Copies of this chain bind each other. A is one copy, B any other.
Amino acid sequence: MNAELFTIGRLSREAACNVQTIRYYEQIGLLPAPLRSSGNQRLYDESWTRRLRFIRHARDLGFELDNVRVLLDLADDPSKSCEAVDEVAGGQLAQVEQRIRDLQALKRELRRMLKLCQGGTVADCRIIETLGNHDLCIADTHARVDASARR
Residues of A within 8 A of B (CB): 50, 53-54, 57-62, 64, 71, 74-75, 77-83, 85-86, 89-90, 92-93, 96-97, 99-100, 103-104, 106-107, 109-111, 113-114, 117-125, 127-128, 130-134, 137, 142, 144-145, 148, 150-151
Contact = CB atoms under 8 A, between A and B. Distances in A.
Contacts of A104: 100
Contacts of A131: 54, 57-58, 61, 71, 75
Instruction: Specify how many copies of this chain sit in the oligomer.
Output: 2
A71 B103 contact: no
A79 B123 contact: yes
A24 to B, nearest CB: 14
A109 B97 CA distance: 12
